[in-house]
Amino acid sequence: MAYVPQDLLDRINALEREVRELRGRAQIRPALNQILAGDVVVGEGGRLLVQDPDGDAIFETGQAVTGDWFVTMRRDNGVPAVSVGASAYEGDSAVKQMVRVFNRDGAVIVMDDYYADGYLGRPFVPIPIAPAVSITSDTETAAYSGHMIVQHKVLNVNAQITAPAGTAARVRLTLNGSEIGSWTISSAATTAEINQRIPLSASAHPHSTQSVVVMWAQRTSGTGTCTLRVRGLWGLNTITESEGS
């Protein structure tokens, strides 16, 4: 039997061990339908699509034929639901990168403005207008009242109180009977402008709470006639951490 050097046998044994390790690792590699680390890059005109059995692209992102980059999500019937971008779906004629939300019929119900950057396009927002109320009673009376379902954490009040010299008045805003704002006009002033953000208590006024809003007014001194103009109440988003607490 031919003599085989020991170092060569050791090398062969080491190679066999490495082959066994490689075979074992191949058996435990991640499934091909998983991404466990790293990024998936789609570029140079490529697109990523998720299609339903009918072939409708429920999710689609990448570069459109016009060169714009976009993201589109559709309902299972192919109608757009949410899109970001221009030319984000077949027949899209948007000229700018827009954010749009569609109803089930495919009509846009929420979007930023088509041409003016920094502005809301839809929904259309009504401008509240109400007549002025005269204040001649020294007893507090309800000047305005309304019903609301709480949607926002902050209410914005915009109003104006006017009074002749020598007459003062007070206005209070209550929500479900609890005062959340109070303003006065002194006998030395003729006009008091109100434009105030009022954070609501999260415990007292959680989202979807049925609430009654009342603006109370009374003359506190003098004999003149005061007026109260409530230009509007709006629900707003928070802009500071303290407003959200």
Residues 135-165 pLDDT 10s: 999 999 999 999 999 999 999 999 999 999 9
- Please state the rounded mean pLDDT for residues 71-89: 87
CB 158 within 8 A of CB 231: yes
- Please state the rounded mean pLDDT for residues 217-239: 95
Pick 110 or 129 by higher pLDDT.
110
Domains of the chain: 47-122 (no CATH), 133-244 (2.60.120.260)
Which residue from 161, 114, 98, 108 is spatially nearest to 134, judged by alpha carbons? 161
